[in-house]
Amino acid sequence: MEWCIPIQTFQVENVQLGTMLEGQKPMISFAYKDNDMRFTALNILLPILPIKSYNPLTGRLILSLEDSPSTLRKILMLQDTILNSVFTNQHHWFPNQTNLRKFNDIKATFQSIINNTEMNLYCPINDNDTHGPIVYANNAWTRGIFSSGLLVPGEKIRAVIRLQGISFHINPVNNQWTGKFRLQHRILAVLIPSSKTVL
């Protein structure tokens, strides 16, 4: 069972950064602390949002936040916090770097999941993927399977996303951080409401 935080109650200041997880794509993980409760994963329940586009070949899912300004504001605040954390901790996280990057350089090389009022997510479909998102549609639950015509522009969905952490790109030749980084995420569930569904 996955615990998730509704975006309405999500507070950016409650997000905690973990230690660097080493690898080809090193990552700083997230946790969330709210009073006496601490979640070791940051799962967020988004509001019902309209689909702008979906590409089943690439898995790119774009949701509109135009009518959800509070959600847009919170995601942007989280990304601002990430930018400041990377700027502040770059020497600690990458002690082998020869030069410290300026804040504007860090901001320029960050791959944002927000483009104006659009949220860019990755939602791959693979019939053999047992780790794909759980899908609720047509009053039934499946895993990673979307019937034709479900993820189409104009339709509305509700998604649960896991913000896994800050993922950094490393140059394979010199093992240096290239300056590029992004907010690593995964869609855990997609709820496609019918006219009678209450979400």
Phi, psi torsion values for 42, nearest 5 degrees = -100, 95
Local confidence pLDDT in tens for the 199 residues of the chain: 568 999 999 999 999 999 898 888 899 999 999 888 889 999 999 999 999 999 888 889 999 999 999 999 999 999 999 999 999 999 999 988 888 999 999 999 999 999 999 999 998 766 555 567 888 887 878 776 666 667 889 999 999 999 999 999 999 888 889 999 999 999 999 998 775 455 5
Residue span of the structural domain in which 18 resides:
5-191
pLDDT at 134: 81
Residue 138, pLDDT score: 78
Residue 198, domain member (yes or no): no
**Structural domain tally of the chain?**
1
pLDDT at 44: 97
pLDDT at position 150 is 74
For the chain, give percent helix, strand, coil, nearest 5: 15, 40, 40
**pTM of the model as a whole:** 0.89
CB of 110 closer than 8 Å to CB of 124:
no
Answer yes or no: is 196 within a domain.
no
Whether 199 is in a domain gets the answer no
Interatomic CA distance for residues 79 and 77, integer angstroms: 5
